[in-house]
Amino acid sequence: MIRILASFLAAAALLAGCATPDRAPAGKPKLVVFFVIDGLPQHQVLDYRDQLGRDGFARFLDRGAWFAEAHYGHAFTVTAAGHATMLTGAYPHRTGVIGNEWRDRATAAPVYCTGDEAHTYIDNPTAKLAGTSPKNLQVETVGDVLRRADPRAKVIGISGKDRGAILPAGKTGTAYMYMGGTGRFASSTYYMKAHPDWVTAFNAEKRADRYFKASWAPLLPDAAYARSVPDDRPWYSKGGKLPKVLGEGQDKPGPAFYGSLLPSPFADALTLDFARAAIAGEGLGRDDVPDILAISLSGHDYVNHAYGPESRLSHDHLLQLDRLLEAFFADLDRSVGKDNYVAVLTADHGFMPAPEYSVSLGRDAGRQNIPQTLERLNKGLAAKFGEGIWVRGWSANGILLDTAFIAQKRVDRSALDAEARRILLGESGIVGVFSAADLAANRVPAGTPFLEQMQKTFYADRSPDLLVVARPYWMFEARRAATSTHGSPHPYDHHVPILFYGPRWTGTGKVEQRVEVVDIAPTLAKMLGVAAPPASEGKLLPLP
C-alpha cells in the first residue's frame, strides 16, 4: 500500500510539473552539443516530419525527448536576445541583451549587442560595431559555471553570426564566427592573440571556395513541396527560386560570394565542418571533464527573412539542415561515442509569415514603416507640446525620446508619454505601447496584454523610452529590405523547438507540458553536475 501511494504521489508531482522522474545515475556526459537553428519556429519541425531523414531531426523526435509547447517568455524575440537567454537561463531583463542593437540612452549612439571596440577579429578586417566580445552580456552561462568549477572544461561557440557564437560561449568560453567577407572562421583578440593551429589549417583549405558555382537544388521532386508557397512570389527578395547557383555572374570567389552563402545550406555545412575540426583540434569529449560545443546554424534565419517561412525555399532549407544534422550525428557517434554526449536543439526565435502571404489568407496584416511612424509621432507631439525634435530615433523594440529637450521645455513627462501612447496606438500596425517609466515603477495594471513579456524584455539602463508591440501579422521595417521578420510577443515568434537526445540522461518521448527556453540552462547544469547559472530563472525540464 505504501509503495502504491508513493508511486501515485510521484506521478502526480510529475504531471503538475513539480518533479522530474528519477533515473539511475548516468555520470556526466563527456560533451554537450548545443544546436541552435536560427529562426526556426516549432511548427516547421513537424510540418515536414514525413519528409525527414532517419537520423537528423528524427533522432530527437523518434528516439529523444522533445517538448511540444516550448516558448520564450520575453517580448522582443530577436537573435541576440534569444542566444543570450538559452544558456544563461535568464531573460533580457537580467542579461542586458535587449536586442541585436540599441541606442545609448544618453547619447543616442548605436550600440551593437556584441560590439567591443577594445577587440578586433584575428587575421580579418573588423568593421565598426563588429561583434568581438561578450562585454554587454551581464550574466553567466552554464559554460561559465562549468569552467569555474573546473578550468579544464572547454566551452566553444561557433556560428555564421558573431552574436550566435559569442553569447552562448559566455564570458569564459571561446567563440568563432564565419567571416562573410573572406569565407573564413575567426575568433577575436578578446579570446586569444592568435588562432590555434587547427583553425589556421582549416582556413588554409579555403573550404568556402568549394561552393563557388555550386547549385542549391531541391532535395525532393516538385510535388513534395505542394504544402509550401511556390518560388518567385512578388514579395520575395531577389533570388527567390530554386535551383540557384552560388556565385553566378562572378569570375572568382570574393566578398559578394562569401556573403551569399549565408542564405543557403552551404554556410551551415561550413559551420558544421568547422565544428568537426573543433572537436578534433580541441579534443572535445575525449576525457572525463565535460565540454560544451554550441553550434548556431544561421542559414534558416537568412532564408526566412528573404522568402518567408512558408516558402518552398524555407521548406527545402529545413530538409537540407535535416540531412546535414544526420551526417554530423554519424560523425559524433564515431568521434565521441553515441553514449557519451547529450545533444540539444532549440531556436533563438520563431518567424512570422510574410505580410503579403497573410493578406492572401484574409488576415489583417501589413508593414509598419518605422521612419514614417517616428515622423508622425514627432509631429503629433509638436502639435500638443510645441515645435521641436521630441523623438531621437528607434532603439531595440521601441522609441528613444529626447529627455533633455523634454526637461528643457518643462513638459510633464507622464503627460507626454500618455500622448505618445495615444498617437502610436492610432497606427495600423501597433497594438501595445509601454513607457519605460511605468515599467520601472511597476505602474502598468496587472492583466495588461503583453505586460509579463515586456517586463522580461525591459532593462532600465538600455531599453528605449517607449516599448512598442506590433499588431499580429504586422511587420515593423525601416525600409523594404526583407520579406518577413520576427521580434514580437506573438506565438509565431516565441513558440520554438526544445529537443534532447542522450538516452542515458534524457529519456524518450513527447512532453506536452508548457516549458520555457530558460529551463534549458538549469537542466543542463544538473546533467553536468554544476550549479545553475546565478541569474537563471528557469526550472528543471520535465524530461520523460
pLDDT single digits (tens) 459-518: 999 999 999 999 999 999 998 779 999 999 999 999 999 999 998 999 999 999 999 999
Closest-CA residue to 538 (of 524, 426, 530): 524
- Answer whether 47's CB lies under 8 Å from 358's CB: no
CA separation (Å) from 235 to 127, 308, 310, 398, 470? 31, 9, 12, 26, 20
Instruction: Determine the Cα–Cα distance for residues 531 and 103; give it in Å rounded to an integer.
Output: 34
Q: Which residues pair with 291 in a beta bridge?
A: 31
pLDDT at position 6 over 80: no
Helix (H) or strand (E) holding 415: helix 413-425
CA dist., res. 376 & res. 518, Å (int): 38
What mean pLDDT comes out for the span 292-318? 98
Domains along the chain with CATH numbers: 30-351+493-528 (3.40.720.10), 366-477 (3.30.1360.150)
The grid coordinates of residue 236 equal: 520575395
Give the 3-state secondary structure of residue 219.
Answer: coil
pLDDT, tens digit, 9 for 90 and up, residues 219-277: 999 999 999 999 999 999 999 999 999 999 999 999 999 999 999 999 999 999 999 99
Q: Is the link from the previous residue into 243 a cis peptide, with omega within 30 of 0?
A: yes
- Residue 360: count other Cβ atoms within 10 Å of its Cβ: 14
State yes or no: pLDDT of 11 exceeds 60: no
E strands of 225-271, at which residues?
244-245
CB 8 within 8 A of CB 136: no
For residue range 449-462, list pLDDT tens digits in order. Answer: 999 999 999 999 99
398-401/466-470 β-pairing: antiparallel
Phi/psi for 381 (5° steps) reads -70, -40
| Pair 284, 197: CB distance under 8 Å | no
What is the rounded distance in angstroms from the CA atom of residue 452 to the CA atom of residue 438?
13
Q: What is the pLDDT of residues 130-156, one digit of tens each?
A: 999 999 999 999 999 999 999 999 999
**Closest to 541 (Cα-Cα) out of 9, 12, 6, 21:** 21
> Which ranges in 64-160 belong to alpha helices (H)?
79-86, 92-95, 142-149
Angle at CA of residue 174, ends 485 and 96, nearest 5°: 50
User: Residue 185 — very low, low, confident or very high, per pLDDT cuts 50/70/90?
Assistant: very high
- Residue 20: pLDDT band with limits 50, 70, 90: very low
Give the C-alpha separation, 359 to 355, whole Å: 6
Model-level pTM?
0.94
Cα within 13 Å of Cα(46), Cβ side: 13
Helix (H) or strand (E) holding 505: helix 503-506
Residues 6+ away with beta carbon under 8 Å from 477: 367, 368, 369, 370, 485
